[in-house]
Chains A and B, each alone.
Chain A
Amino acid sequence: MPDISVVLPSILQPLAGGQSVLTAPVDGPVTVAKLLDSVTADFAVLARRLRDETGALRRFVNVYVDGDEVRRLQGLETEVAPGQEVLVIQSVAGG
């Protein structure tokens, strides 16, 4: 089955067992929300770092699909197809 890769920033990799890339096997397009559900299923703390308990993406967490930030697309409902790459990057924020 093809899969979709989610690339994590180094600061989050300890929460994914040291992995820099998580993959989810899919048999067709899925939403970013479902993709995050899948790749964080075994990493509950990682899941909480990315989204709050309502499921919303945290304000300064950016998710890119093929270079486009999902807030500029359909948010977490943006569809991702097998073979595409998803990047999680913290935004430039803080003081």
Chain B
Amino acid sequence: MVGMATTESFVLAIGTKKGLWLATSPDRRTWSFTGPHFLMSEIPSIGIDTRDGRTRIMVGVRNEHWGPTVAHSDDLGATWSEPEQGAIKFPEDTGAALERIWQIYPDAESRPGVVWAGAEPISVWKSTDGGEHFELNRGLWDHPHRSDWGAGYGGAAAHSIVVHPQRDTVHVAMSTGGVYRSLDGGTSWEARNKGISAYFMPDPNPEFGQCVHKIAADAAVDGRLYAQNHHGVYRTDDNAESWTSIAEGLPADFGFVMLTHPRRQGTAWVVPLKADGERIPPNGELAVHRTDDAGGTWKRLDKGLPTGEYNSVLRDAASVDSAEPAGVYFGTRGGTVYASADEGETFTEVAAHLPDVLCVRAAVVAGA
């Protein structure tokens, strides 16, 4: 076996409004780019699957003319494959058509080949063949709340999927609808939004209908998740039975991003935006904020980031890698991508002048 230390490298995938860029780096400081792949198609979702001894990059592709599809590459983008019949296809009886793939989520190491997807219209999908064919989750599709779910500005979609690495617990977040939890691997689902505000509804504390922008699980504390809401940042310690605010100490409680550390408990990152009505970094000063105590306190991280930045950072335009220390990556709607090799303490610009960044994913891979 070859020692990991000599063969590790890093892959950064940047999905934009007009194509995909891929970058590799031996050290997270210098990056070699290829792209654009899928020029003139938007790439709103990316999954990098490093299980099974290979690196598979899966992308949700959407072309304004030719529709959505899923493609994958096992050679870092040198070639791409697309199943003839399409990887995600609504069954005929639903009468629905796929609009956009919002999330591609490789499951845990313990479930090789399992990949989840979240899509518009609001739906969750599961593949057991490494993302080549997905099956519609009927439990969520047939949920009695469906007729009351709404669409945010970007569309009505299931955009966050968090799967417990050992148990059959799955959390999904949708806009709008909020958080839904399954304890049986996705067969049945219940809304779990107690404590999350929906200020835009007549009843600001409904069972469901919240516009949760992103959820992420604490890697080291069972039952703990974090949520960036449409105004509001929250934590649950009881598997989403109840949520409490952890927004104090942040310059704003609006935003889209929620990232958690790959191993360490209590560490999460957000990118605050001023407000619902003014979706810019507060005062035009772009900063990431990190907590190391599960939201008790927040540290502003802006070293290497510009002032005078008026572009927002979208919910999936941010990622962490699994290295030690963890890398943090994000891109703006202005087409700039920043990377940190030290958990956000310092950032460097790794790409600029790209189309709007919709999705960023990073991974540690063997070789490359």
Contacts and interface: CB of A to CB of B under 8 A. Distances in A.
**Is the contact region of chain B dominated by helix, strand, or loop, or is it mixed?**
loop
A90 B92 CA distance: 26
Interface stretch (A28-36, A44-52, A76-84): A44-52
Contacts of A90: 65-66
Interface string B59-81: 00001111101000000000000
Given A53-B89, A53-B90, A94-B40, A48 B97 contact: no
Interface magnitude class on chain A? 10 to 19
B85 interface: yes
Interface in A53-95: 53-54, 56, 58, 60-61, 90-91, 93-94
A56 B67 CA distance: 12
A66 to B, nearest CB: 23
B96 to A, nearest CB: 7
Contacts of B95: 54
Contacts of B366: none
B82 A45 contact: yes
Given A44-B84, A45-B82, A94-B40, A54 B96 contact: yes
A91 B65 contact: yes
B301 interface: no
Contacts of A58: 65-67
B326 interface: no
B86 interface: yes
B98 interface: yes
Nearest to B40: A94
B82 A52 contact: no
Nearest to A93: B64
B65 A60 contact: yes
Given A45-B84, A53-B97, A61 B66 contact: yes
A43 to B, nearest CB: 9
A59 to B, nearest CB: 8
Nearest to B84: A44
Interface residues of B, number: 18
A7 B98 CA distance: 26
Contacts of B63: 49
Contacts of A61: 65-66
A46 B23 CA distance: 30
A60 B97 contact: no
Contacts of B69: 48
Contact of B65 (A45, A53, A54, A94): A94
A53 B64 CA distance: 16
Contacts of A50: 66
Contacts of A91: 65
Given A52-B97, A53-B90, A54-B96, A93 B65 contact: yes
Contact of A44 (B64, B65, B85, B96): B85
Contacts of B82: 45
A71 to B, nearest CB: 15
Contacts of A94: 40, 64-65
Contacts of A53: 86, 89-90, 92, 96-98
Interface string B259-279: 000000000000000000000
B17 to A, nearest CB: 8
Interface in B35-60: 40
A52 B84 contact: no
Contacts of B85: 44, 48
Interface of A: 12, 44-45, 48-50, 52-54, 56, 58, 60-61, 90-91, 93-94
Given A60-B64, A90-B65, 8 more contacts: A44-B85, A48-B86, A52-B98, A53-B89, A54-B96, A58-B67, A93-B65, A94-B65
29 contacts: A45-B84, A48-B67, A48-B69, A48-B85, A48-B86, A49-B63, A49-B65, A49-B66, A49-B67, A52-B67, A53-B86, A53-B89, A53-B96, A53-B97, A54-B90, A54-B95, A54-B96, A58-B66, A58-B67, A60-B65, A61-B65, A61-B66, A90-B65, A90-B66, A93-B64, A93-B65, A94-B40, A94-B64, A94-B65
